[in-house]
Each structure stands twice: as C-alpha cells, then as structure tokens.
C-alpha cells in the first residue's frame, strides 16, 4: 500500500526529493517505493521508531546510498548523475558518526569542510578563510578555534561538527540525529542554531530527530515514518494527533498544546496512569 | 596586489599562506610541520655525511663534500662516492619510502599500529623470497621478484578477505594479523627444511640489510620513487578527508573506495621497493609517522614529516649497524627492531602515565 501523496502543506517546490525509491543495504530492504519531497526553505524533521528507515532515507537523499530502483532528484536531475563534488557543493551532510583525527584543532576540522571547494593547486583561497571564520562564528566556536577537538565537551564538539558542515557553504543541510549524546540544554541550543540557520540564512534543513516534542517545536515540515513508509507529512500542528503517534510509535498518548511554542506536545500514557488520565479528561 | 607569500597566525597556529598567479595557486602551509621537516632532513643529512666520512678508511668531512662535487683524489672518490654514497642515499630514500608507506596505512586504518606489516606484506614478501632462495636457489633479482610477488599477493588476499561492501580499517588489521601468523608458520617450515647454509642466507635477507648495495640499486630506487611520489601527492588530500570517516568523506565528494584502493596500492608499492632491494626492514614504517606526528603537532598523520623521520631513522640505524660493532656489520633490520622496541616501550609508558588523569 504505497499511497502517492499530493502533500498539501508543501510551501514551495522541492530541490531534493525521492521518487518511488527502493532503498536498502546488501541483503536488507529498508524502504520500498518511497516518495518524499523536501520543501525548499523548510526545516524538515524526520521522525519514526528505531529502524524505520529514517537514517537510510537521509543517506539516499545525500547520495551515500544508491536506490535499487526509483531515483533521488536534486534540482530536478538524478542525484547519481552529478559528479560527487557538485553534490557536495549543494548538499552538506552531518553523518551519525564522524571521526576526529587525533590531535586535530577545531579550526583545522572546520577547514576540512572546504574540501569540495578546493583543488590540488588551490587549497586555501580567501573564500575558504572567510567561510571557515563565518562557520565558526555562526556556531559560536570561534573562541575554541585553537583547542583540540578531543578536549571539548560533547556539546562543543557537536557544534564544531556543525561548523564543519556549514563551512561547506551548501544551501541544503542534512543532519543525522545531531542531538544524540547531548544533554537537554545542548540539544535545545543546537536546535536553536539550526532554526537560526534556516530562518536567517535561508538554508533548507533536514534533520533526523528522536524527540517528538522537539520535532514538533522546531520543524516547519514533519515527516513521520514507520517500517520504510511515510505515515504522514506536513506542518506539525496539522498532522500530529494522538492517533498518528499511536500508529507510528505504538505509543498511547495525549497530545496537548505546548504552552510556550503552541505546537503539539506529546504526553505519553504509561500503563499505570491510563486510568487516572482517562477519568480526568472524560 | 597582495604579497604572494606571507606568514600569519591563523586560529592560534602560525601558517604560511602562498597566493600566486592571481589566486590560481593558493596554499596554506603549517609552519611548525615545515620547520620540523626541515630540521629532520638536516639531521638526516648530517648523519649521512657522518656515514660517508667515517669507517675503516676515515675521510675528513671537507674532502667528503669535495668528493660529492667531483673534486677529490680517485681513491677518496672511490671510497666515498662509489662505496659509501649508494648505501647512505638508499638509507635516506628507502627510509622516506617506508615512513610515507606507514603514514598511509595508519591513516587508512585510523590506527597508530597500522603499517604495511599488518596487512601481511612483510610476512608475505619473506615467504616469496624464501621460496626463491630455498627452493629455486635464485639470484638477487629473482629473490627481489619473489619478495615482490609474495608481498603483493598477500596484500591482495588480505584486502579481498577484508572486503564486505567496502573495506574497514579494523577488519583489515585483524585479517592481516591472521594471514601474517599463517605465513610466519609457513616461513618457519621453509627454513627448517632448508640446507643450513641456504637457511643462514635466507635469515640474513629476512632481517633486512643495506650491505653491498651499489649505484645501480640507487638508480632503480630513484626511478620507482619518482614514479610513485606524484600519486602520493594527489592522494594526500582525499586521504585527509577519509580520516573523518567514510560517510563524511563521501559527503565531501570523495570517492571513498577508489581512494582507499589507490592509497593501498601506493603504500604497498613504497614498501615493496624497500623490501625488494633490502629485505623486510621492520618498524620504520610503524614508528616514523607517529614520532613525526608528535613532533609536528599535526592532525592525523602527516606525510612530509613522516618521510623525513623515516629517512632519519633508517640512516641513523644503518650508521649504527655499520659502525657499532665494526668490523662486523649488522643487518640494519636488527637495529630498527631494537629502536622499534624502545619506541614501543616509550609509547606504552607515555600512555600509562596519561591514565590517572
């Protein structure tokens, strides 16, 4: 049952989309005939239970994974038809796990994001320097620039990785679970940073997140996935209901309004409290 | 018009910025790495000069330099240029080749213990040489050829066995250790069934030695290195991106599998030339990049300082091998193994001291 959606909430045409894409690894099929469009200028968040294919979708959208059938389109053309370097100038990706080489400084790591803009003979232009400085300022890591990445806290380190992707200066920014391993304050700080980049610098952002409430709060476009299929997509306020959360996560819950951001707030019903809540609300 | 070259503090580190031809060539050079490299090269050259001057027939340094520029008596010329120079120059070149090779493998495997040895190259080349020496009784070229074939075959087998939709550094190390262990037992068996005299010869080859290498070998090595080095330079940029992880490298537009295969081939070629000429010289490839990295304070492994460090290590080891127990000459491989042992002890002590923090 693959419904092809007209996607009513789409604010503007997509620069990147998957069309009837079947994606998976060697023997394991993750998603079949999947169609997803990322609205241009949106802060899109992909949510879903573990192993629902959200990271796999992100890998396919960023050309790391070639669909077995169907295609991923970047600006209307198959993403596979671009040279890797051209994709890297349009689309930046922060993978789930990245490795910092031993003894690398913050500035050096951020500078490695400039790779797609450099050539053998041109390895440090004025643009490179400006992009690195700008990326470090945007993520507030300028003061750390001479420090070793190994010595930073988790929150600082994640900001540095985001700075590296920013230095790539791509209009599209894909992030795979960027808030994992961060404490709550640093999670919010990072999401605020992404929102700022989306609003002030016009970057289209696609992030895989685990926390539904954060997703509802920051996403302008939400994609809910389960077992390789899109269950719903659109503005969080329009689509997040108790029924959807139950259908996607199998979690009985109550959806109320977030008193601060006025976005949907998902309150799980634990087995013990179901009674009490049911009595109060009825 | 800006100045073509300047030095600047960039993010708390001194850099040299070079901008030429209206920005068609722009480079950023880490000054500390540059200074370290130059210092290492200077020391290595000084050590080589000592090697040229000292020995049974001592030559004053002034005359050595004169001989290098073709201004010396025929006798001094013969001793310095024809006898000692090829060996000293080979120590520098092969040391640099081993240093770069080790740096490449350590970058590929993202592991300071990565080296050509770990993908079984040394054990494999020893097997190849042993087969030629003990079974076919071959000449120098046959032994060198046998070593190359053995080393390359082993590298291919290890690479193939590690492949599962791409090769990961850690799997490469584990498979390499396994294959090396099997080959080592095969080597022992080959030695045991060989004639005593042949076995002695084979074991001398197996410890790696620069004894008796002449100008023709120096020429061969120079040609091979001149052919391989451009590839090293070209691959050094994607190699650095690969250190960020496969996904990040791909996202930056690096063709990961092609780069990795290219780096493997270049790394193996650099070790192969050293092994083919001098036999398996242990530990230079392992230790040089790590020592160089610490001196240069660079991120990940750095090729140029590693090359300079490798040259210095092998040149110094060979001087020790020649002069320490003169007139008897040690194979240089024995010295590098001793130095390598010291290096490991130092590394472990350093790590142990770090622990309490």
Structure confidence by residue, pLDDT tens digits, A64-100: 999 999 999 999 899 999 999 999 999 999 998 888 8
CA-based nearest distance A161→chain B, Å: 10
Region of poorest pLDDT, from A38-42, A160-164, B49-53, B274-278: B274-278
DSSP collapsed to 3 states, A229-269: EEEEEECHHHHCCHHHHHHHHCCCEEEEECCCCCCEEEEEC
Q: A125 by DSSP, 3-state: which?
A: coil
Q: What are phi and psi of B6, to 5 degrees?
A: -150, 160
What is the predicted pLDDT for the residue at A278? 53
Q: A178 and B43 in contact (C-beta within 8 Å)?
A: no
Burial class (CB in 10 A: 0-12, 13-18, 19+), B310: buried
Q: In the numeric block, which tokens belong to residue B165?
A: 């939709």
Q: Check whether A2 has a pLDDT greater than 50.
A: no
Q: In the numeric block, which tokens belong to residue B278?
A: 């001098």
**Residue B7: C-alpha distances to residues A50, B92, B311 (Å):** 51, 30, 28
Q: A223 and A238 in contact (C-beta within 8 Å)?
A: no
Residues A110-120 have pLDDT tens digits of 999 999 998 88
What is the predicted pLDDT for the residue at A1? 42
Region of poorest pLDDT, from A133-142, A145-154, B248-257, B327-336: B327-336
What is the predicted pLDDT for the residue at B70? 84
Q: How many CA atoms lie within 13 A of B60 on its CB side?
A: 5
Q: Check whether A243 has a pLDDT greater than 60.
A: yes
What DSSP designation does A112 have? G
For B196, residues 6+ apart whose C-beta sits below 8 A from its C-beta are none
From the candidates B28, B253, B302, B357, which should be mutated to test the interface with A, based on the most A CB atoms within 10 A?
A: B253
What is the predicted pLDDT for the residue at A7? 46
Radius of gyration of chain B measured on its C-alpha atoms: 21
Residues B81-99 have pLDDT tens digits of 888 999 999 999 999 999 9
Q: What is the mean pLDDT of residues B168-187?
A: 86
What is the predicted pLDDT for the residue at A6? 45
Q: In the numeric block, which tokens belong to residue B269?
A: 């070629």
Q: What is the mean pLDDT of residues A116-130?
A: 85
CB contacts < 8 A, A to B, total: 115
Q: What does the alpha-carbon distance between residue A232 and residue A3 come to, in Å, rounded to a whole number?
A: 11
Treating both helix axes as pointing N-terminal to C-terminal, what angle do A154-167 and A184-200 enclose, rounded to 10 degrees? 20
**Residue A271: C-alpha distances to residues A182, A249, A265, A280 (Å):** 28, 15, 19, 16
Question: How many other β-carbons are positioned within 10 Å of the β-carbon of residue B50?
Answer: 17
A125 → closest Cβ in B23, B248, B255: B23
What chain B residue is nearest to A113 in terms of C-alpha separation?
B252
Contact residues, A window 241-280, toward B, CB-based 8 Å cutoff: none
Q: What is the mean pLDDT of residues B8-28?
A: 76
Residues B223-259 have pLDDT tens digits of 999 999 999 999 999 999 999 999 999 999 999 989 9
Q: What is the mean pLDDT of residues B154-164?
A: 84
Region of poorest pLDDT, from A42-51, A71-80, B11-20, B203-212: B11-20
What is the predicted pLDDT for the residue at A5? 45
Radius of gyration of chain A measured on its C-alpha atoms: 20
Pick the closest to residue A209 from A92, A90, A66, A58 (CA basis): A58
What is the predicted pLDDT for the residue at A182? 85
CA-based nearest distance B160→chain A, Å: 17
Region of poorest pLDDT, from A162-176, A254-268, B168-182: B168-182
- Planar angle of CA B101, B107, B108, nearest 5 degrees: 90
What is the predicted pLDDT for the residue at A9? 47
What is the predicted pLDDT for the residue at B355? 52
For B331, residues 6+ apart whose C-beta sits below 8 A from its C-beta are B204, B207, B208, B209, B211, B279, B321
Q: What pTM value is reported for the model?
A: 0.87
Q: What does the alpha-carbon distance between residue B151 and residue B285 come to, in Å, rounded to a whole number?
A: 15
Q: What does the alpha-carbon distance between residue B212 and residue B53 come to, in Å, rounded to a whole number?
A: 17
Q: What is the mean pLDDT of chain B?
A: 86
Q: Check whether B12 has a pLDDT greater than 80.
A: no
B17 touches chain A (CB under 8 A): yes
What is the predicted pLDDT for the residue at B31? 86
What is the predicted pLDDT for the residue at B197? 86
B11 → closest Cβ in A92, A116, A145: A145
Q: In the numeric block, which tokens belong to residue A228?
A: 């390789």
What is the predicted pLDDT for the residue at B198? 86
Q: What is the mean pLDDT of chain A?
A: 88
Residues in A touching B250 (Cβ below 8 Å): 63-64, 84
Q: B172 and B108 in contact (C-beta within 8 Å)?
A: yes
Q: A125 and B28 in contact (C-beta within 8 Å)?
A: no
What is the predicted pLDDT for the residue at A3? 43
Region of poorest pLDDT, from B2-16, B44-58, B223-237: B2-16
Kindly state the percentage of chain B with pLDDT values over 90: 32
For A75, residues 6+ apart whose C-beta sits below 8 A from its C-beta are A15, A16, A90
Q: What are phi and psi of A233, to 5 degrees?
A: -150, 150
Q: How confident is the model at residue A271 (pLDDT cuts 50, 70, 90)?
A: low
What is the predicted pLDDT for the residue at B357? 39
Q: What does the alpha-carbon distance between residue A137 and residue A132 come to, in Å, rounded to a whole number?
A: 9
ipTM: 0.86
What is the predicted pLDDT for the residue at A74? 93
For B256, residues 6+ apart whose C-beta sits below 8 A from its C-beta are B166, B242, B246, B249, B250
Q: What does the alpha-carbon distance between residue A190 and residue A173 come to, in Å, rounded to a whole number?
A: 14
What is the predicted pLDDT for the residue at A276? 55
Pick the closest to residue A138 from A168, A118, A112 (CA basis): A168
What is the predicted pLDDT for the residue at B170? 77
From the candidates A58, A93, A112, A136, which should be mutated to test the interface with B, based on the most B CB atoms within 10 A?
A: A112
Residues in A touching B17 (Cβ below 8 Å): 124
Residues in A touching B234 (Cβ below 8 Å): 120
Q: Check whether B6 has a pLDDT greater than 80.
A: no
Q: In the numeric block, which tokens belong to residue A88?
A: 């890297």
Contact residues, A window 121-160, toward B, CB-based 8 Å cutoff: 121-126, 128-129, 145-146
What is the predicted pLDDT for the residue at A217? 95
For A280, residues 6+ apart whose C-beta sits below 8 A from its C-beta are none
What DSSP designation does A41 have? T
Q: How confident is the model at residue B264 (pLDDT cuts 50, 70, 90)?
A: confident
Kindly state the percentage of chain A with pLDDT values over 90: 67
**Cβ A103–B300 below 8 Å, yes or no?**
yes
What is the predicted pLDDT for the residue at A275? 56
DSSP collapsed to 3 states, A131-193: HHHHHHHHCCCHHHCCCEHHHCCHHHHHHHHHHHHHHCCCCEEEEECCCCCCCHHHHHHHHHH
B16 touches chain A (CB under 8 A): no
């Amino acid at each position: 049952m693959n419904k092809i959606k007209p996607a009513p909430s789409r604010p503007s045409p997509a620069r990147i989309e998957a069309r009837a894409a079947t994606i998976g690894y060697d023997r394991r099929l993750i998603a079949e005939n999947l169609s997803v469009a990322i609205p241009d200028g949106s802060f899109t968040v992909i949510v879903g239970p573990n192993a629902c294919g959200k990271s796999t979708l992100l890998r396919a959208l960023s050309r790391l994974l070639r669909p077995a059938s169907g295609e991923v389109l970047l600006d209307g053309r198959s993403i596979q038809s671009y040279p890797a370097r051209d994709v890297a100038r349009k689309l930046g990706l922060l993978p789930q796990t990245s490795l910092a080489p031993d003894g690398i400084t913050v500035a050096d790591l951020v500078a490695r994001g400039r790779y797609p803009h450099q050539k053998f003979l041109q390895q440090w232009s004025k643009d490179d320097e400006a992009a690195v400085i700008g990326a470090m300022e945007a993520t507030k890591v300028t003061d750390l620039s001479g420090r070793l990445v190994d010595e930073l806290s988790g929150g600082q380190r994640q900001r540095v990785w985001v700075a590296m992707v920013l230095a790539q200066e791509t209009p599209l920014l894909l992030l795979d679970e960027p808030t994992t391993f961060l404490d709550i304050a640093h999670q919010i700080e990072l999401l605020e940073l992404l929102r700022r980049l989306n609003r002030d610098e016009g970057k289209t952002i696609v992030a895989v997140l685990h926390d539904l409430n954060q997703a509802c709060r920051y996403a302008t476009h939400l994609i809910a996935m389960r077992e390789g299929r899109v269950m719903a997509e659109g503005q969080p306020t329009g689509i997040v209901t108790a029924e959807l959360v139950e259908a996607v996560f199998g979690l009985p819950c109550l959806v109320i309004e977030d008193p601060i951001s006025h976005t949907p707030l998902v309150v799980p019903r634990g087995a013990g409290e179901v009674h009490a809540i049911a009595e109060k609300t009825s | 018009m800006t100045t073509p070259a300047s030095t600047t503090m960039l993010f708390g580190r001194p850099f040299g910025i070079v901008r030429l031809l209206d920005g068609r060539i722009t480079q950023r050079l880490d000054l500390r790495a540059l200074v370290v490299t130059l210092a290492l090269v200077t020391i290595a050259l000084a050590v080589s000069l000592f090697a040229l001057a000292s020995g049974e027939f001592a030559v004053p340094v002034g005359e050595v330099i004169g001989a290098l520029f073709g201004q010396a008596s025929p006798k001094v010329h013969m001793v310095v240029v024809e006898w000692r120079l090829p060996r000293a120059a080979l120590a520098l070149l092969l040391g640099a080749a081993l240093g770069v090779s080790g740096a490449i493998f350590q970058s590929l495997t993202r592991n300071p213990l990565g080296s050509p040895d770990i993908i079984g190259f040394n054990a494999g080349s020893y097997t190849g040489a042993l087969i030629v020496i003990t079974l076919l009784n071959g000449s120098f070229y046959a032994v060198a050829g046998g070593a190359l074939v053995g080393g390359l075959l082993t590298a291919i087998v290890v690479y193939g066995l590690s492949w599962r939709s791409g090769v990961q550094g850690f799997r490469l190390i584990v498979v390499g250790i396994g294959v090396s262990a099997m080959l080592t037992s095969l080597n022992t068996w080959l030695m045991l069934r060989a004639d005593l005299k042949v076995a002695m010869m084979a074991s001398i080859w197996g410890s790696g030695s620069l004894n008796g290498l002449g100008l023709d070998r120096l020429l061969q090595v120079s040609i091979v290195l001149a052919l391989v080095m451009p590839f090293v330079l070209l691959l050094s940029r994607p190699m650095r991106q690969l250190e960020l992880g496969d996904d990040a490298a791909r996202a930056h537009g690096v063709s990961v599998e092609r780069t990795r295969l290219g780096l493997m081939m270049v790394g193996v070629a650099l070790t192969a030339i050293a092994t083919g000429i001098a036999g398996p010289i242990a530990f230079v490839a392992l230790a040089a990049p790590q020592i160089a990295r610490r001196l240069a304070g660079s991120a990940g492994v750095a090729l140029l300082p590693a090359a300079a460090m490798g040259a210095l290590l092998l040149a110094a080891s060979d001087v020790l091998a020649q002069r320490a127990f003169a007139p008897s000459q040690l194979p240089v491989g024995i010295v590098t193994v001793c130095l390598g042992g010291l290096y490991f002890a130092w590394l472990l002590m350093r790590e142990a001291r770090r622990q309490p923090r």
